[in-house]
Structure formats: structure tokens, C-alpha cells
Structure 1
Amino acid sequence: MMIIITINQNSNTDNGDNIPITARIEEFLKKEKSVAALRIQTLWRGHRERLKLTERQKVAQQVKAAIRIQRSFRRWLEKTELARQEFPTHLKPPGLTDERRVELMKTISQWREQHPPQDLDTTQLQALHTRCHTALSAHYSRVRPYRKLQTQVENMVARLDTDTELLALAPPLKDVTEKDVAMYSSRSLPVAVAAKDRHARSLRLKQLPWWKILGEEGDGDAEDLQEERERMEAEMLLEAMGI
């Protein structure tokens, strides 16, 4: 019996530090409580911030919408102000007065009196004819590419007029047939890619809120028009150069 009591007393103490097991348990439980409290506080703060996040996102979206609306309204005000403005009269060149007109006519008369026409002999006439012929040939050699370019521009304008007429006479989507699809389809790969890109862009704009597309349609049309104009000019120049 004495041996058992001695063993129990030794089991309630640590051999190394002589700290009771109950004290160790209390210290362990204290640490666990601290860790649990810290975790609970962390989770609660995260939950509270997540509740505020939705409201913050809503406020941020409202701010972005207000900024976009204000920018579009200011742009509209600038356009209307420019449309209301009259042509600045101070930029017009001043007209000729009667005194100035008389002065110019007098100057012209004096120049004609000082430089009367001279009679040329056959050699001088031949030299003048040769010089004029050379200048005319040089002019025609320079103007030939521009004439070709002008013809290409006229053909392109005629084609655009035809395409515009076809688009104006296009049937509604509910009445479209396979023949209409074949008529309005283009075999050109760049045209097909551009049309596909424009269609995808239109679908993306339809899915956006109304305030996000304020001013986008006009800007997009202007950019597309500028790109189309640059592309047409590049094609015409390349064709004129024979590339």
C-alpha cells in the first residue's frame, strides 16, 4: 500500500521541472482559449467586412456611373455650344475697298506699260514651244497616277452607293432567306473578320449597363470611320504604286 501511494504522488509531478500536471493543463487550456478567441474575432471581422464589401461595391459602381454620366453630359454641352456658335466674323478676310481697287488697277496698268508684249522671232518661238511642251509632258507624267487614283476613288464611291442602296432595301431579320444571306455575305476574309468583331462588340455593349455605354457608340463609330478611311487610303496608294 505504501508503494502505490508513492507512485501516485510521483505521477502528479514532472520529473524535470517539478510542475504539477494540473498547472500544465490549465496553461494549455488558457492558450487554447486565447487561440479560439483570436480565431473567433478574426472570423467575425471577416464576416463584418464581407457584409460591408457589397455596399462598398455598390457605392463604387454608383460613383463610376456618376462620373461617366457627368463626362457624357459635359461632352454633349460642348457639342451643343459649338453648334450654337455663329461663324466668327473676325476670321473673314477683309474685302477690297474702292480706294484699294483703284490702287490695284493703277498698279496693273503701270506694269503693263512697263512690260509691253515683245515680238519673238522664229528661234525664240521654237524655244518657247519646246519649253512649254516639256513642261506639259512633265505635268502629264506626274498627274497620271493621280488620274488612276481618282478613277479608283470614283469606282469605290459607286460601289459604296450600291452597297448603301442594298442595305437600305434589306428585309427585316424575320423575313431573311438563304438567298438574302448569300447576297449580303462577303467572301473577303478581312471584311468577315471586321463584321464578326463588330457583332461581338455590339453584343458586349448590349450586356453592359446603360450608363457604361454613354458616349461609347459615337466614339466607336468615329474610330471605326477613321480606321476605314485610313485603310481605304492605304489600299488606294498601294494599288497606285502597283504593290
Structure 2
Amino acid sequence: MLSRKELQRYSRQIMLPQVGEVGQQKLSAARVMVVGLGGLGSPVALYLAAAGVGELHLVDGDKVEVSNLQRQILYKVNHREKPKAEVAARQLTAANPEIRVHAHPHMANQNWLRKRVAEVDLLLDCTDNLETRYSINQVCREVGRPVVMASVRGFSGQLISFDFSTSRSPCYACLFPPRQQREPLNCAGAGVIGPALGVIGSMQALEALKLLLGLPVASLARLHLFEAETLELRPLQVQGNNDCPVCGQNQRS
């Protein structure tokens, strides 16, 4: 049962037939991990907290820098040199004290992910580190957790989701084989326009809510390419790769 306070706070989304009280209860019971609390993780975490996702785990080992403030909307000038995960947890708790927010102020390496991902229902990859992304992909597949991944460089964004509770699902390594990839420039090296991160981060949060609610997810095994300069959004279907080092054996079975 939702409390009177919850019914009032979430009334506008409870009105939606796709959500209702049952859907809001699903969100309140959900446990979600956000890895990376920069330009993508900021809008993602804000929208998930506002929507009433019951438990958020915020993972980032960086501290707030002045150059972050152009696009990382969770932070203010007085947050400089403070751990992003801890600042973000305080900001979200202030925005919605009815949810539980846990700060993990360190980088998400593969060993740590293996210990913690099984404890959540969904993971959102908001990082700009390719090694971390491959680790997230592998661990989420191992433990059967869905993941929503996104990235933005310059004016260009990408979004894709995988539901690894389905054994036949392709994975990120099917689309971008590790041996063929080089570490891309991050925002510090390539530059980025802030609102493009807001657009893709909002889409990422939307897909996460749809996954939690059991609604159709447009980005499931479909890479969505967004060009902010032209406002074009183009979907591409992803196929399984028999030679994928993560799930190729499953694709052959």
C-alpha cells in the first residue's frame, strides 16, 4: 500500500495507465545502481530519485571539479573537491527523503561489481571509461541483470539496453568487440555540449523506469544514435555475434 504522502508526491505518474499504484509500488521496491555520476549520471539519478525508485546505489570515484559544472547538474561551486558519490547522495536525499540512497565513492572495477551487482535489480552505465563499460557488460551478463548504457561525445550520443535475464540476448561486446576498440577520448579530451548529455541521460532514465515497470523498452538490443546538431535519432538493431568473447558460446547453442 502506498502512503498518503506517496500518493500525493507521485500523483502525476500514478495517473498514467502504464504506471498506476501497482507500478509505483514496483518503483518503490526497486534497487538500482548508477555507475558514473557525471554528465549522464546527474540527470539519470535526479529523475530516478524524483520518480520514487526506492533504493539507489551511486558509484563514482572522482571528486567534483570546476570544469564539471558546465554539464554535471547535480553539483554546485561549493562542492568542489568533494567526492561526487557522497555529494550526489546528499543532493538526492534532500530532493526525495522518502528513498534510500547509498554512496560508493570509488571506481567500479570488475571484482567489486561481481560482489554488488547481484544485489540490485538494474544497472545504468553512465561512465566514459571503456574498460569499466566492458566490465559492467560482463558482470551484468554473468548475474543476469539488465543494463542501460549510454555515452555522449561532442554533439553525438548513443543509447542501448540489454536484458540479460534472457539467455539469448546479445551484449555490448557483440556490438563493439573489445579487441577492435581503442579507448575513446572522454569529455576532457573531446569536449561535449551539456544539453546533449541531458537528452541522453533523460532517455536513459526513461528506459530504466520502463524496464522496472515491465513496459516495452525501445532500446532493448537496439542502438539509438542521437545527433544534437540536427536532432536526428536513428535506431539500429543489434545482432548476436558468434565470435563474441562474452556471449558467443551462448549464441551458438
Point out the structure with max Rg over C-alpha.
Answer: 1
Higher helix share: 1
TM-score w.r.t. the length of structure 1 is 0.18
Structure showing the higher strand proportion among its residues: 2
Greater RCO (CA < 8 Å, at least 6 residues apart): 1
TM superposition score normalised by structure 2: 0.18
